[in-house]
Amino acid sequence: MFDERKLDGIKSSLNKWKKNNVEKAISEFPERKGKFTTTSNIEVKRLYTPLDIAEMDYEEDLGYPGQYPYTRGVQPTMYRGRLWTMRQYAGFGNAEESNRRYKYLLEQGQTGLSIAFDLPTQIGYDSDDALSEGEVGKVGVAIDSLKDMETLFDGIPLEKVSTSMTINAPASVLLAMYIAVGEKQGISPDKLRGTIQNDILKEYIARGTYIFPPEQSMRLITNIFEYCSKEVPWWNTISISGYHIREAGSTASQELAFTLADGIAYVEAAIKAGLDVDDFAPRLSFFFNSHNDLFEEVAKFRAARRLWARIMKERFKAKNPKSMQLKFHTQTAGSTLTAQQPDNNIIRVAIQTLAAILGGTQSLHTNSRDEALALPTEDSVRIALRTQQIFGYESGVTETIDPLGGSFYVESLTNEIEDQAVKYIETIDALGGVSKAIENGYIQKEIQNAAYKYQMEVEAKEQVLIGVNKFIVEEEAKKDLLKVDPQVELKQREKLAKLKAERDNIKVDSSLELLKEKASTDENLMPYILEAVKSYASLGEICNVLREVFGEYEQSVIL
C-alpha cells in the first residue's frame, strides 16, 4: 500500500526511535507487562506502522463497502443509510407475559423482535413432559402449540416487524407456527421477515439444545433452505452462530474459525441436497459475540466478512454477490458480566457495543447489567437498549463507514485473525470436516482448553476482572431480581390439557401420521410440519414423531 522508498525510510526511523527513545524510557520505567497479548494470543506490539501492513493491497484486501471482499462493510452506505437493528433478546414465563414485554420494547424504540424460548421448547418437549419439570418458562417463553404462538404475537403486526427466533433443533416447527400466525393475521409468507437460528452444529459443539443425530438434523435444515427460497423469500434461514462457541470459552479467532467451518458444512450439505449455491446462500446469516478487547473484536468482524467472501467465491464458486456478503447479528458477551458490582457491567456492555458498531454489525442485542444474577428486569433492559441508542444517535461513530479501516493496528490484527482462522479451517478440513471434528472432540477440546486457561489466568490475577479479583468491595445480597412465577408451569400444563381436549384430534392424528410417513422418505418435510402445526398438534407431539423415525443424538462427553 506504500511507496517502497518511504517504507525503507520508516524502517530506519523506527529503529532510531526504538534505540533513542524507547530503550531509554524502558530502562527508567519498565512496561507493565513483559508481553502484551490479545485473547487469541496474538502478541500486541508497542506500536504499529505502515511496515505492518506493507504487504496489503487496498483494492484486493479492503476494497469499498458493498464490494468484494466486503472487509469494510456489506452495504455501500452502512449506518449513514440506516442504523443497525436494535434487537433485544427477550422472553420468559408464558406467552401473555412475553407479549407484554415485546410491546414494551417496541414502544421504547426497539426495531426488531428477538424471541427467547424456554428449554423444553428448544428441545422439543411439551410443558407437561416429565423432563420439563422445573424448566417451563425459565430461560424463555414456553410454546407448546400454535395457540401459544398466536398469543405471543397478539397485536403485533407481522408485516411490520422482523422477528428473530433462537430456535435450532425444532426450528422448522417454530417457523411453521410463525407462518401460520401470519396467515391468521392475513399476511402471506412472502411478506414475513426474520431469522431462525437453525444452527445445529454449534448445538453439538457448545450450546446443547440438540435433538436428532447430525445427518437428520442437516436434512431438516436443508429442507428449510429449499422451502424458504420458494415460499418465504425474505426469511434468513439460518444464523450460523459463533456466539455460543465464544461463551463456552473460545478465543476470538476460534470463534471465527469454528463458525465459518460450520458455515462451510451447511453450504456443502445444501449443495449435496441438490440446491444451487446462489439460491440459498444470500439468506445465510451469522451471529457473533462482542467481547471486551475492542480492537481485536473489530478485527474479527472485518476478517469474518473478508474470509467468508473469499470462501464463497473461491471454494463454492458463488456468482451472486449477495452469496458472498457476510451479514451478522451481534450480542454482547454474557460471560464477561460479573455478579459482583453489577452496575459495572453497563460499561462492559458499552465497550462491546462500540466494537460491534465499529465492526459493522447488522443488528445488535446488548446484555443487561443483572444477567449474571438472574433474568433482566425492565429497568436493566432499558439501560441496555439506551446504550445502543446513545452510540447510534449521540456518539458520531456512525457518520463514516469503517472508521478504523487503515489503522495500522486494526488492519494488522484483521490479517492475523484471518490467518489463524484459515489455519483452523485447514485443520478441520484435514480431519474430514466439522462433523468429524465434533465427533472426535477436537473442536470441543480446543474450546475447553481456552476456557480453562482463561479461568486459571483470572485466578492467578494475570487477567484482571474488576470487582472479582481486583477492586473488590463487600456487597449486600441483591434484591429486586426478576423471578418467574412458579405458577407458570402449572398454568402452561393446564392450557395444554385444555387444547388437547378441544382440538380436532382426528385431524391431529392424521397429520402426525402423514408426517411420520414422509419423514422416512426424502421429501421436504416443511409442508407436512406446517399442516401438523395448523391442526394444533403440539411441539412435543411433532418432535416425538420425528424422534421415532430419526432417533436422538448421543453426546460424546469430552473432558
Partner 1 sequence: MDRPIRVLVAKPGLDGHDRGAKVVARALRDAGMEVIYTGLRQTPEQIVAAAIQEDVDVVAMSILSGAHNHLFPKVVNLLRGEGADDILVIGGGVIPDDDIPGLKDAGIEAIFTPGTATSDIIYFINNNLKR
Q: How far is the CB of 371 from partner 1 (least distance, A)?
A: 8
Here the cell at position 105 is 420494547
Residues forming a β-bridge with 85: 363
Residue 105, CA atoms < 13 Å, CB-side half-sphere? 30
Q: How far is the CB of 452 from partner 1 (least distance, A)?
A: 5
Here the cell at position 200 is 445445529
Q: How far is the CB of 510 from partner 1 (least distance, A)?
A: 31
Among 235, 270, 268, 223, smallest CA distance to 527 is for 223
Crossing angle of helices 526-534 and 214-231, in 10° steps, is 80
Here the cell at position 171 is 426450528
Q: Toward partner 1, which CB reaches closer, 426 or 475?
A: 475
Q: How far is the CB of 172 from partner 1 (least distance, A)?
A: 20
Q: How far is the CB of 349 from partner 1 (least distance, A)?
A: 16
Q: Please state, in angstroms and rounded to a whole number, the distance separating the CA atoms of residues 356 and 28.
A: 38
Q: How far is the CB of 484 from partner 1 (least distance, A)?
A: 7
Q: Toward partner 1, which CB reaches closer, 5 or 479?
A: 479
Q: Please state, in angstroms and rounded to a whole number, the distance separating the CA atoms of residues 220 and 203.
A: 15
Among 407, 425, 410, 388, smallest CA distance to 297 is for 410
Q: Toward partner 1, which CB reaches closer, 56 or 465?
A: 465
Query: Is the CB of residue 283 less than 8 Å from the CB of residue 270?
Result: no
Q: Toward partner 1, which CB reaches closer, 506 or 559?
A: 559
Q: Toward partner 1, which CB reaches closer, 525 or 539?
A: 539
Q: How far is the CB of 483 from partner 1 (least distance, A)?
A: 8
Q: If 0-12 CB within 10 Å is exposed, 13-18 middle and 19+ buried, where does residue 306 land? A: buried
SS (H, E, C) 322-353: HHHCCCEEEEECHHHCCCCCCCHHHHHHHHHH
Would you tell me how many other CB atoms lie within 10 Å of the CB of residue 442?
17
Q: Toward partner 1, which CB reaches closer, 64 or 553?
A: 553
Q: Please state, in angstroms and rounded to a whole number, the distance separating the CA atoms of residues 303 and 324.
A: 13
Q: How far is the CB of 76 from partner 1 (least distance, A)?
A: 39
Largest CA distance in the chain: 88
Interface ranges with partner 1 (CB under 8 A): 119-120, 122-123, 125, 131-135, 138-139, 203, 206-209, 247-249, 335, 338-340, 372-375, 448, 451-452, 455, 458-459, 465, 468, 477-479, 481, 483-484, 555, 557, 559
Q: Toward partner 1, which CB reaches closer, 185 or 440?
A: 440
Q: Toward partner 1, which CB reaches closer, 203 or 297?
A: 203
Q: How far is the CB of 447 from partner 1 (least distance, A)?
A: 8
Q: Toward partner 1, which CB reaches closer, 135 or 293?
A: 135
Would you tell me how many other CB atoms lie within 10 Å of the CB of residue 301?
28
DSSP for 467-478 reads TTTBS----PPP
Q: How far is the CB of 133 from partner 1 (least distance, A)?
A: 6
Q: How far is the CB of 249 from partner 1 (least distance, A)?
A: 5
Residue spans of alpha helices (H) in 273-311: 277-280, 294-310
Q: Toward partner 1, which CB reaches closer, 501 or 559?
A: 559
Q: SS3 helix, strand, coil % of the chain, rounded to 5?
A: 55, 10, 40
Q: How far is the CB of 53 from partner 1 (least distance, A)?
A: 35
DSSP category for residue 482: B
Q: What are phi and psi of 372, to 5 degrees?
A: -80, -5
DSSP category for residue 375: B
Q: Toward partner 1, which CB reaches closer, 156 or 466?
A: 466
Query: Is the CB of residue 490 less than 8 Å from the CB of residue 484?
Result: no
Q: Toward partner 1, which CB reaches closer, 130 or 506?
A: 130
